[in-house]
Chains A and B, each alone.
Chain A
Amino acid sequence: MFIRGSSGSGKTTLLNLLAGILTPSSGQLRVLEQDMNQLSNVARDRFRADHLGIIFQQFNLLPYLSVLDNVTLPCEFSKRRREQSGELNATATRLLEDLGLTNAMTTTSITQLSVGQQQRVAVARALMGKPELIIADEPTSALDTDTRDSFLDLLFSEAEAQGSTIIFVSHDHQLACHFSRTLDLQRVNPV
């Protein structure tokens, strides 16, 4: 699912709604069959921890944690995802390998990784514990075209392998061709 919209069109608001940070002031919102209005603050945080993987534009990682610790971080806040991951470090290492990050890289400091490598670590983190939804907020905007395409390919194949849906937000319609569904926020919500 590709959501397109220029700045100010409400992309971030939509993401915050999906992630359960915000609740709709009117109307109903159902994410994964769950009525978000009915959940308390704590429950929405748990829902996010359990079911959502989130990838930001850039600077996704905590610089003071190792690559592996960054990847396994969601499992620390969600029992469900911890249980679905199996052996945490092994799964994380496998995901990182699949995403083309060698073992040597996983032991280096985050700050020594390139932006593209950092984004791939962020993908691995979002995939940990097989969340149903992966929300990606312009994860490719900091990447050049070549890295971007290989990044998307990896994201798709990994998400498909574990059956996660990707909600991908961007202002760049060139990317739309990679997705099965596209939604243009400007048409839904003309500002």
Chain B
Amino acid sequence: MILLKLTLLSLWNRRASLLLTILAIAISITLLLSVEYIRKEAKASFLSTISGTDLVVGARSGSVQLLLYSVFRIGNATNNISWKSYQELAANPLIEWTVPLSLGDSHKGFRVLGTNQDYFRYYRFGDKHTLEFAQGQTFSGVFETVLGAEVARKLGYKLGDKIVIAHGTSKVNTALHADKPFTVIGILKPTGTPLDRTVHITLEGLEAVHLDWVAGTKINGYNLSAEAVLKKNLQPKLITAFLVGLQSRAAAFRVQREINDYKREPLLAILPGVTLADLWQALGLFETVLRMISGLVVVAGLVGMLTTVLSTLNERRREMAILRAVGAHPRHILLLFILEALVLTLVGCLIGMMFMFALVYLARPWVIAEYGFYLRTWLPDLSSLSLVAIVASLALVLSLLPGTIAYRRSLQDGLTIRT
């Protein structure tokens, strides 16, 4: 079609000045797409903070609260689960594995998690990734600890270092379990989950440091040395929560009901995926704001294009008169401007998408290595294509302005060449 050919050649003729316009559109599209990408990746990463775990069980409270303290290490548990109940529930034949979690202490602002070796065997995050060790291995002794990647990096710990955990979770620690230090035996690879900020110790270790404590304070004159403590019964009496893996996922609701109806003490079992989704929903406002900002940037890019096209209107009056002389209708002129805006926008979108692909392609390995976020490569999908379609229609609407001006002028000017 001749109009498209004219548009393309005319644009090509003005390519130098249009390059910046296209670049502005491309950058705004890149921003729009990357906001959309980050939003999706953040959601995917958030929703897969914990995977492969069918149920999370804690003392009865809110499901979001349980998820926050057991998985995200935010806030505190209101109550504990007795070891006896835990043993009893874990014996359910539908349950394949359980991992006990005990929280409440901290190390220099990082939460301390008491657990056992099963944690490193069964915990999954992201796309069913297992926990991997950057250095060392899982703990076997009572006074050994495995650090999350960020803990080790921020505090500069290496294997063999001795750390002291503090009682409670407040950042200003006065009550230290100073007499019973833990040796760093392993450091995990980054996972992009709250695990990176966790100090893992054994349940027995946690029990040991608290043996000579009652009701949150150290008992004066009652000091057990680290060696003496090892001879005591270190079987914990309470745990904070436990993770459950089932033989078959189909049994999840059944086991959940059984635990919720457990008579001995009030417990709550949640499906982590469902609660994660609920929690994400609550953070929805943040998504909307991000989207609005990137939307506005795209509008700014398109207005930039509008300005460029409008500023060329005068110098293109001759072009319009020539076209009118060879038989073009004013509507052809209008169409010419619409096509021009569309071509500019689509080329901008295309370059923007290429930027986006390159950006993710280049940033991905670094982000995975540094932060443990398992980013997926970016490829134009249906939702990004529909975004592009929305932008293109917006460009079409905006192009009606210069188009109409040129249309009116070509009616007035006719064959007269005005400069």
Q: Are B329 and A60 in contact (CB under 8 A)?
A: no
Q: Kindly state the interface size class of chain A when it binds its partner.
A: 20 to 34
Q: Which of A41-61 contact B (CB under 8 A)?
A: 41-42, 45-46, 48-50, 54, 56-57, 59-61
A172 to B96, CA, bound (A): 104
**Interfacial chain A residues near B327, Cβ < 8 Å:** 45-46, 48-50, 74, 77-78
In the complex, what residue of chain A is closest to B332 when comparing beta carbons? A77
Q: Are A21 and B414 in contact (CB under 8 A)?
A: yes
Chain A-chain B contacts (Cβ-Cβ < 8 Å), number: 70
The reply on A163 being an interface residue by CB < 8 A is no
The reply on B324 being an interface residue by CB < 8 A is yes
Q: Are B13 and A74 in contact (CB under 8 A)?
A: no
Q: Which of A120-139 contact B (CB under 8 A)?
A: 125, 137
Q: Are B416 and A16 in contact (CB under 8 A)?
A: yes
In this complex, the member of B322, B325, B417 whose beta carbon has the largest number of chain A beta carbons within 10 angstroms is: B325
Q: Are A63 and B13 in contact (CB under 8 A)?
A: yes
The reply on A65 being an interface residue by CB < 8 A is yes
Q: How far is the CB of A47 from chain B (nearest CB, A)?
A: 9
A66 to B174, CA, bound (A): 84
Per-residue interface assignment for chain A, residues 30 to 45, with 1 indicating a CB less than 8 Å from any chain B CB and 0 otherwise:
0000000000011001
How many residues of chain B have a CB within 8 Å of chain A?
23
A112 to B46, CA, bound (A): 63
Q: Are A21 and B322 in contact (CB under 8 A)?
A: no
Per-residue interface assignment for chain B, residues 239 to 264, with 1 indicating a CB less than 8 Å from any chain A CB and 0 otherwise:
00000000000000000000000000
In the complex, what residue of chain A is closest to B413 when comparing beta carbons? A21
**Interfacial chain B residues near A46, Cβ < 8 Å:** 327
Q: Are B326 and A125 in contact (CB under 8 A)?
A: yes
Q: How far is the CB of B339 from chain A (nearest CB, A)?
A: 14
Q: Are B9 and A64 in contact (CB under 8 A)?
A: yes
Q: Which of B303-332 contact A (CB under 8 A)?
A: 318-319, 321-330, 332
In this complex, the member of A21, A41, A50, A57 whose beta carbon has the largest number of chain B beta carbons within 10 angstroms is: A21
Q: Are A64 and B322 in contact (CB under 8 A)?
A: no
The reply on A62 being an interface residue by CB < 8 A is yes
Q: Are B10 and A64 in contact (CB under 8 A)?
A: yes
Q: How far is the CB of A131 from chain B (nearest CB, A)?
A: 10
Q: How far is the CB of A130 from chain B (nearest CB, A)?
A: 14
Per-residue interface assignment for chain B, residues 328 to 370, with 1 indicating a CB less than 8 Å from any chain A CB and 0 otherwise:
1110100000000000000000000000000000000000000
The reply on A22 being an interface residue by CB < 8 A is yes
Q: A64-B12, A65-B9, A73-B326 are in contact. Are A15 and B415 (CB under 8 A)?
A: yes
5 additional A-B pairs beyond A46-B327, A50-B327, beta carbons within 8 Å, are A16-B415, A22-B414, A45-B324, A45-B328, A64-B10
Q: Nearest 10 A-B pairs (CB), nearest first?
A: A49-B327, A21-B414, A64-B13, A77-B327, A76-B2, A54-B325, A45-B329, A64-B9, A74-B326, A16-B414
CB<8 Å pairs between A and B, sample of 23: A15-B415, A16-B416, A22-B414, A45-B329, A46-B327, A48-B325, A48-B327, A54-B325, A54-B326, A56-B322, A59-B318, A59-B417, A60-B322, A62-B6, A62-B9, A62-B10, A62-B323, A64-B9, A64-B10, A64-B12, A65-B6, A78-B327, A125-B326
